[in-house]
Amino acid sequence: MSDKKKILIIQPIHKAGIDLIKNNTNYDYEIIENIDNKDIKKKILECDGLSIRTANLSSELINISKKLKIISRHGVGYDNIDLKSSKEKNITLAITATANAVAVAEHVMFMLLNISKRKNMYDEAVKTGNFSNRNKLPKTIELWKKNILIAGFGRIGQSLIRRCKGFEMNVFVYDPFVSKDIIEELGGKKVEDLTEAVKSMDAISLHMPLNEKTKNIINYDLLKTMRKNCIIINAARGGMINENDLDKALNESLIFGAGLDVFETEPPKEDNPLLKNNKVFLSPHTAAFTEECMIRMGKETIQNIIDFFEKKLDKSKIIKL
């Protein structure tokens, strides 16, 4: 009887990650591209570990597994995984904690610059033969000396602050779990009250997990207290911004613009009003989709599984259930 561990890779990952397990004689692996529950049910029964991207890993699937010991999430969010069942079955949940910080931080800056510089409007003016109307176009906004609030100061938030300081922005940080000393060491100023802090911000970037406390944390009541030149970016988790409230605030010019990489429902429904709002800059949950990041995430996803079975998994990558 083989002692090899059976690893299920739910949704394809970069070849660099596959090669780590392909060349390791201690493991057998199988990739599932079709994320239909029926296919996963058949394969999850006897697997010892699995990797997963965005597919839903329900309590039903977790509970029918007989040998599952480690779930390695390709990414940092884990709201697609049933945590209660994982805890009850004593399954370890690991994330790719170090892989995507740079890519997501760069994506935030990409969105912030595109919105503040009115990229779409200016680009269209040239391409449609309206170059001579440049003096009639609405003016853009500088980032220099502007106040930005980073809400959530994990690895992505800490990567973002370095880029904001490069633009000489004044950086404020809201994170109840990170000390004032750490924030100040990286050039930021800690704020204790999110609802008060947003009133004096020119930009806000969300990097918090989605939970009962953060769901719809950005709503109309909060939006109407913000500066009219404020730009909100969410490249973390959909659901933290009430999308109907955001659309209303943008239409009423309560804020300058918004950038969303994530949505409450993905893909967003056709009747989502933000899809037709020209004051919002959208991307399809691809903030981490750089070539370099995909390589890092693929490797880290599989290495977490290997390290778990070799009893050397970095504790900072394990989610406390």
Q: How far is 95 from 214, CA to CA, in rounded Å? A: 20
266: three-class secondary structure by DSSP? coil
Ramachandran angles phi, psi of 7, nearest 5°? -115, 130
Q: Which residues neighbour 230 within 8 Å (Cβ) at sequence distance 6 or greater?
A: 198, 201, 202, 203, 204, 255, 256
Q: With the C-alpha atoms ordered 97, 99, 100, 101, is the resulting torsion angle positive or negative?
A: positive
Q: How far is 297 from 81, CA to CA, in rounded Å? A: 18
Positions marked active-site: 237, 266, 285
Identify whether the C-beta of residue 255 lies closer than 8 Å to the C-beta of residue 230.
Answer: yes
Sheet holding 92-95, edge to edge: 27-32, 5-10, 49-52, 70-73, 92-95
